[in-house]
Amino acid sequence: MDATYWQALGLGLTNILQPQTFLFLLLGISVGLVIGALPAIGGVTGLIILLPFTYNLSGTEAFALLLGMYSTVAAGDAISSILVGVPGGVGSSATILDGYPLAKRGQAARALGAAYTSCALGGLVGAVILALSIPVVKPLVLMFGMPEYVALAALGLAMAGTLVGKSLAKGVAMACMGLLVSAIGASDFSGIPRFWFEITYLVQQPPIVAIVLGMFGIAEMLDLAISKNRIAQRATGDLSAGGTLQGIRDTLKEWWLVIRCSAIGVYIGILPGVGGSVVDWAAYGHAVQSSKDKSNFGKGDIRGVIAPEVANNADRGGALVPTLAFGIPGDFAMAIVLGALTIQGLKPGVEMLTTQLPVTFTMIWAIVIANIIGAALLMLWSRYVAKIAFVDGHIIVPVVLFFILMGSWLGTTTMGDLVVMLVAGFFGYWMKIAGWPRPPLIIGLVLGNMMENSLVVSMRTYDGFSFLLRPAVLIILVLTALTVFLAVRARVKSRGSDRTSEDKSSFAGDLVEDNPTFSLPLALLVGFVFTGAIASALQMRRLDGAFPLWACAFGLLCALLALRADRRAVRQGRGEDGMATALAKAAREVRLGRGALFLMHIALTVLGVYVLGHKMAIPLSLGLYVVVWGRYRWWAGLGAALATYAAVELLYDRTLSINLQPPLWQ
């Protein structure tokens, strides 16, 4: 470690302690604690809400806000997992096994105290390992050229596509769809627009923020609006200070378990595409296997709370390693952080480990400080923060919708971004009820531009595909093939048996079971899109069409495999009933009618913004939601509308000075 390393380490601490940056860190921590207390919402939703606000922030302020939220949301997740028995996020699922029984025995405070302390220690150890790994990773990154980045992107997409969701074919098809979407707009090599359909708006690069907000934000709020009136019904156990202190002592007593599970969290987090979907279960399994007395696990063993919570927070630091060093998101949340890097004009790789090393250390310090402050605040406020879990869902939905609608506008401040958000929301909901994984599409969208540029430069430099014979490229491609092979073998073994908790999607809201009735037409549509894109790419110049052509070829193959499987499943599932009967039954199961009404409400809101402007349409829309969907009195809807108007006026118009859509008559 040379003097530059220590200088950057000190400069990173100085950056995070700047008054304005520190205030954004505190804001992120506060948002993380609140979101964490809401079951099934999770840190990804928090990142989606906060990402649009980073447009007008400096790099250090943006990452202080995002990582402050993301580092503390895991601690908040423990609240609903322990008190309610509903996972706050996918990484807190294992905590329920012993946390909820402890709460039912009147030891909720002890379980929460252990969870908060475990999160803080896991985050600290993860950040330390991340900081110590930089000198090791730096020379490795400096050895990598454009061919290696092509192979690394392929590895990241393979992991995202094969390890998320039930169907390997659908996961890879969605990763390829993300690559195709990333190719929309003017080519970086010729400037000629691709896949733009004579629409001027599509000449520019796709708006990542609007797509993420629609595909995940709209789909998740739709699910909450139509399926739940209240997130949680009751809490169990006391929240006394004495029990909290006992939980702290329990965690410190199990210091060796803390260190082992921190290492598990970090190194699983480093694996792109795996992350939070398995880390808590891996740590919980290790705690059980390494324990001499296993009799109390699942009945209220405090070690069953400590292990998953430590690993879940240590995973955050590990996921940053491939994100910053190679531009390969460690998980879907890191894909959003990678998008924030792009917004700030920063490039992962050599730049983040050399000229921008102080920014990297600023991010590490943000994780360290956020974990300490977040745990301390939860110790003091847990009994109050826990009440958020019992707020009516119809109050939460309009609040989140407000940030989704306004956040989608911040990209280009044009109606096109709102339309993209709406379309992404429609397809996100369709994918959700059909069982198609959404994270691979976003990861493909984020990685697409980098992968295409690296591929084209490599093809030019090596006069074709001979760059694939480079030793490092071959090693990475072997790892990619091994990833696909292991994923296929795991699915073959699990065929016909119930899915385990480790098979959950990396995003808490994704369905884990296929629904062939809705999946079949989606597979047809995806195949049609890939076929049309191939026909268009064949008419492009060689360098402009090569990347989308290869992506669509793989995507079409996977779509056809998914179509074949869905067709067989539909035939078997409908039995003697006709297709219409099977479709009606599936529609009732997912409440398709109410889902369609919700999407219509959002569509009318977007149309209202165009006609009436932001200041009239969004307050009117959210006020009507409170009255019509929430069934509150008219004065509650009026209050919501006035509060929304005040937020648009004060936050977006006067504070952020955003160019809002005026009414048509102006």
Sign of CA dihedral 510, 514, 515, 518: positive
User: Residue 553 CB: number of other CB atoms within 10 A?
Assistant: 14
**How far apart are alpha carbons 449 and 184 in whole angstroms?**
10
Note whether residue 400 is domain-resident. no
Note whether residue 635 is domain-resident. no
| Mean pLDDT estimate for the chain | 80
User: Residue 229 CB: number of other CB atoms within 10 A?
Assistant: 12
**How far apart are alpha carbons 272 and 564 in whole angstroms?**
29
Phi and psi torsions of 70, nearest 5°:
-70, -30
Quick one: pLDDT at residue 532?
A: 94
Q: Are both 560 and 496 inside the same structural domain?
A: yes
- Give ∠ CA 502-506-512 in degrees, rounded to 5: 65
Q: What is the mean pLDDT of residues 167-196?
A: 88
Are 401 and 266 in contact by the 8 Å Cβ rule? The answer is no
- Among 356, 276, 281, smallest CA distance to 324 is for 356
Q: What percent of the chain has pLDDT over 70?
A: 84
Q: Are both 249 and 384 inside the same structural domain?
A: yes
**What does the block give as tokens for 602?**
């959002």
Strands 185-186 and 193-194: antiparallel
Q: Are both 114 and 78 inside the same structural domain?
A: yes
Structure confidence by residue, pLDDT tens digits, 41-76 = 566 667 877 887 787 788 888 888 988 888 887 777
**Residue type at 92 in one-letter notation:** S
Give the CA diameter of the chain.
Answer: 75
DSSP 512: S
**Residue type at 97 in one-letter notation:** L
Quick one: pLDDT at residue 502?
A: 39
Q: Name the domain boundary from 338, 358, 392.
A: 392
Note whether residue 151 is domain-resident. no
- Among 115, 74, 60, smallest CA distance to 303 is for 115
- Among 209, 154, 188, smallest CA distance to 551 is for 154
* More reliable by pLDDT, 462 or 140: 462
pLDDT at 232 over 50: no
pLDDT at 305 over 70: yes
Quick one: pLDDT at residue 614?
A: 93
What confidence tier does 38 reach under pLDDT thresholds 50, 70, 90? low
Are 134 and 358 in contact by the 8 Å Cβ rule? The answer is no
Q: Are both 465 and 562 inside the same structural domain?
A: yes
* More reliable by pLDDT, 168 or 627: 627
**How far apart are alpha carbons 413 and 659 in whole angstroms?**
7
**How far apart are alpha carbons 358 and 51 in whole angstroms?**
21
Q: Are both 207 and 236 inside the same structural domain?
A: no
Note whether residue 272 is domain-resident. yes
- Among 157, 152, 116, smallest CA distance to 322 is for 152
First to last CA, the chain: 61
Highest averaged pLDDT of the listed ranges 309-318, 358-367, 623-632: 623-632
Structure confidence by residue, pLDDT tens digits, 106-131 = 777 788 888 888 888 888 887 887 78
Q: In a 3-state reduction of DSSP, which class is residue 223?
A: helix
Q: Are both 202 and 103 inside the same structural domain?
A: no
Note whether residue 330 is domain-resident. yes
Contacts of residue 339, defined as CB under 8 A and 6 or more positions apart, other chains included, come to 51, 208, 209, 212, 446
Q: Where are the alpha helices (H) located in 274-414, listed in sequence order?
A: 279-289, 303-326, 332-343, 350-353, 357-385, 393-409
Q: Are both 383 and 468 inside the same structural domain?
A: no
Quick one: pLDDT at residue 420?
A: 93
Using CA atoms, how far residue 429 sits from 225, 345, 578, in Å, is 13, 31, 25
Note whether residue 594 is domain-resident. no
Q: What percent of the chain has pLDDT over 90?
A: 20
Structure confidence by residue, pLDDT tens digits, 350-359 = 778 778 888 8
- Among 431, 408, 432, smallest CA distance to 420 is for 408
Token pair 């009751």 is found at 234
**How far apart are alpha carbons 270 and 276 in whole angstroms?**
11
**How far apart are alpha carbons 404 and 421 in whole angstroms?**
9
Quick one: pLDDT at residue 511?
A: 41
Q: Are both 204 and 284 inside the same structural domain?
A: no
Q: What is the mean pLDDT of residues 163-189?
A: 84
- Among 49, 428, 448, 418, smallest CA distance to 201 is for 418
Q: Are both 181 and 120 inside the same structural domain?
A: no
- Among 552, 556, 569, 442, smallest CA distance to 166 is for 569
**How far apart are alpha carbons 545 and 552 in whole angstroms?**
11
Note whether residue 153 is domain-resident. no
How many domains does the chain contain in total? Answer: 2
Quick one: pLDDT at residue 499?
A: 43
Q: Name the domain boundary from 563, 589, 615.
A: 589
What confidence tier does 84 reach under pLDDT thresholds 50, 70, 90? low
Quick one: pLDDT at residue 457?
A: 86
Structure confidence by residue, pLDDT tens digits, 632-647 = 999 999 999 999 999 8
Q: Name the domain boundary from 589, 606, 630.
A: 589
Q: Are both 203 and 335 inside the same structural domain?
A: no
Q: Are both 439 and 534 inside the same structural domain?
A: yes
Token pair 């860190």 is found at 25
Note whether residue 477 is domain-resident. yes
Length of the chain: 666
**How far apart are alpha carbons 128 and 126 in whole angstroms?**
5
Q: Are both 238 and 371 inside the same structural domain?
A: yes
pLDDT at 287 over 60: yes
Give the domain extent around 543. Answer: 163-211+434-589
* More reliable by pLDDT, 422 or 241: 422
CB-based burial of residue 542 (10 Å sphere; 0-12 exposed, 13-18 middle, 19+ buried)? Answer: exposed
